[in-house]
């Protein structure tokens, strides 16, 4: 669930910067339910993707200095018990522990 919230936050950050409606750094952080430092850490993530981000004191907003397109999405799909067993439910630790135990 944490990952989904983080993806949603990243999309919100991009949307607010793209529309130049972030407000001051304090306001922006509050909108994201983050501390100011955490908000700047999130902006660093965008900079690793080559986003050029600046802050305008006059307009009180962050903005992209050059065009930046970003899209991050996810899909949740329900699977049957049989499918879960077939793919180990995303867990391989049980298989590893089982093999270690029985290889002795």
* 3-17 pLDDT per residue, tens: 888 889 999 999 999
DSSP code per residue over 34-60? --HHHHHHHHHHHHHTT--EEEETTTT
The tens digit of pLDDT for each residue in 30-53 reads 999 999 999 999 999 999 999 999
pLDDT band of 90, cuts 50, 70, 90: low
- Residue identified by tokens 């910067």 is 17
Pick the residue with more confidence: 84 or 26?
26
Residue 76 · residue 82 · CB < 8 Å: no
> Among positive and negative, which fits the CA dihedral 5, 11, 14, 20?
negative
Say whether pLDDT at 101 is over 90.
no
pTM of the complete model: 0.71
Q: Domain-by-domain residue ranges, the chain? A: 2-64
CATH code for the domain defined by 2-64: 1.10.10
């Amino acid at each position: 669930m944490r990952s989904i919230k983080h993806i949603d936050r990243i999309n919100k950050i991009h949307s607010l910067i793209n529309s130049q409606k972030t407000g001051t750094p304090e306001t922006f952080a509050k909108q994201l339910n983050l501390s100011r430092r955490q908000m700047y850490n999130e902006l660093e993530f965008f900079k690793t993707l080559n986003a050029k981000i600046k802050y305008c004191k006059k307009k009180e907003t962050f903005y992209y200095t050059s065009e930046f397109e970003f899209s991050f999405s996810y899909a949740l799909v329900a699977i049957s018990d049989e499918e879960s067993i077939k793919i180990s439910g995303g867990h391989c630790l049980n298989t590893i522990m089982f093999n270690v135990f029985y290889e002795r």
